[in-house]
A and B are shown apart, each in its own frame.
Chain A
């Protein structure tokens, strides 16, 4: 249910704020990360799932984390243990950009 809540909040406010959550999902569909801006508390594990047939990656802009190519319905998880702004993109389609804000 947290996944659904996150997506709805993102649609309404652009920034998805997730409070006291330990696990949050980000969807990849039609070459977009949803939500594109995700705010989470320290300690949150973010899990990406690729719904496209095209492979995508989750690649940190500063090299802090990164996945290999995710095939259709593959997932990648990353736990954020320090506050900060974590910009990331898809290495195959670098116009796909998003950010995780850890507070």
Chain B
């Protein structure tokens, strides 16, 4: 039996019930974990948007007995932001293994978000059963060829949503594929190098931990097209924890899940849901501060909790 009391739930929320709010000032993004007071100030040209990720509706386990409730709490926090975020990015794994009705539940809850628009990219949980048929049926409209990837401009910044979960192959990494990389090159071509670019996708576009499939096989071939820009921010989900890396002009970030945490890279036998024991909650919070060094690229872990 799950033993969820208020204290346990709130401690769990410190892990799970969070989203990131991004504030853009002159194309330089800064992030903080959402709190009601965290709001963009009314400076001209400044705007904020929110990233939520890995809502995993349909999951039921020790790590979270009710991901619907934690998602609702995130929505309430987003709605407390002043001013409201310009838009929201959902970086995938809306559902837990495409469980029946899960997409409907997510759509229903996210209807309550006070924002202009929500942009989506799929996670592997959203597409693995049917090759993306249901996901693209819902969210493919307006994307390139109905295949899920897209770009848009907002207040001088260029946003690109990429799909890297429909071509899982090799050792189980994400992959973008030739068509999408060619499209990206064409999409970026007209932009001046001073245009701030934000790229979002589900699986990290950097080698967080390839042994667990936490990387995108052909990301390098996409990133090469971003080299000439002075400010590039890459936002990902998938790994259910906040990690950050800066490489040249590119800042990589991963977001927390709204449902359950996963272990830091290499600290567990497998990347499954982390079971949070009440007594361990404080120690578990510290886990996100683990620094993992893949080869020559040190990763710096940044913020991870509500408080």
Q: A30-B269, A30-B272, A95-B172 are in contact. Are A53 and B213 (CB under 8 A)?
A: no
Tell me if B287 is interfacial: C-beta within 8 Å of chain A.
Answer: no
Tell me if B271 is interfacial: C-beta within 8 Å of chain A.
Answer: yes
Q: How many A-B residue pairs have CB under 8 A?
A: 52
For B271, list chain A residues within 8 Å (CB).
Answer: 31
Binds B, one of A12-20, A37-45, A65-73, A77-85: A65-73
When chains A and B are docked, how far (Å) is the Cα of A95 from the Cα of B173? 8
For A94, list chain B residues within 8 Å (CB).
Answer: 168-172, 213
Interface residues of A in 57-103 (CB under 8 A from B): 57, 68-69, 71-72, 89, 91-96
For B61, list chain A residues within 8 Å (CB).
Answer: 53, 72
Interface CB pairs A-B, < 8 A, 30: A30-B269, A30-B270, A31-B269, A31-B270, A31-B272, A52-B272, A53-B272, A54-B272, A54-B273, A55-B96, A55-B97, A57-B128, A68-B129, A69-B97, A69-B129, A72-B61, A89-B172, A91-B128, A91-B129, A92-B125, A93-B172, A93-B213, A94-B168, A94-B169, A94-B170, A94-B171, A94-B213, A95-B171, A95-B213, A96-B172
Interface on chain B toward A: helix, strand, loop, or mixed SS? loop
Q: Are B168 and A91 in contact (CB under 8 A)?
A: yes
Q: Whose C-beta in chain B lies nearest to the C-beta of A72? A: B61
Which residues of B approach A to under 8 Å, CB–CB?
59, 61-63, 96-98, 124-125, 128-129, 168-172, 211-213, 269-273
Q: Are B270 and A32 in contact (CB under 8 A)?
A: yes
Q: Are A92 and B270 in contact (CB under 8 A)?
A: no
For B125, list chain A residues within 8 Å (CB).
Answer: 55, 92
For B129, list chain A residues within 8 Å (CB).
Answer: 68-69, 91
Q: How far is the CB of B131 from chain A (nearest CB, A)?
A: 10
Interface on chain A toward B: helix, strand, loop, or mixed SS? loop
Q: A69-B97, A69-B98, A71-B97 are in contact. Are A95 and B212 (CB under 8 A)?
A: yes
For A96, list chain B residues within 8 Å (CB).
Answer: 172
Closest 10 CB pairs between A and B? A94-B172, A95-B172, A31-B270, A55-B97, A53-B61, A69-B97, A30-B270, A30-B269, A54-B272, A91-B128
Q: How far is the CB of A34 from chain B (nearest CB, A)?
A: 12
Q: How far is the CB of B232 from chain A (nearest CB, A)?
A: 28
When chains A and B are docked, how far (Å) is the Cα of A30 from the Cα of B263? 12
Q: Whose C-beta in chain B lies nearest to the C-beta of A69? A: B97
For A52, list chain B residues within 8 Å (CB).
Answer: 270, 272
Q: Whose C-beta in chain B lies nearest to the C-beta of A59? A: B128
When chains A and B are docked, how far (Å) is the Cα of A75 from the Cα of B184? 42
When chains A and B are docked, how far (Å) is the Cα of A54 from the Cα of B63? 11
When chains A and B are docked, how far (Å) is the Cα of A71 from the Cα of B61? 11
Q: How far is the CB of B21 from chain A (nearest CB, A)?
A: 29
When chains A and B are docked, how far (Å) is the Cα of A6 from the Cα of B269? 22
Q: Are A53 and B97 in contact (CB under 8 A)?
A: no
Q: How far is the CB of A52 from chain B (nearest CB, A)?
A: 6
For A71, list chain B residues within 8 Å (CB).
Answer: 97
When chains A and B are docked, how far (Å) is the Cα of A55 from the Cα of B93? 13
Q: Whose C-beta in chain A lies nearest to the C-beta of B272? A: A54
A69-B128, A71-B97, A92-B128 given; name 15 further pairs at CB < 8 Å: A53-B63, A54-B270, A55-B125, A68-B129, A69-B98, A69-B129, A91-B128, A91-B168, A92-B97, A92-B125, A94-B170, A94-B172, A95-B172, A95-B212, A95-B213
Q: How far is the CB of B135 from chain A (nearest CB, A)?
A: 14
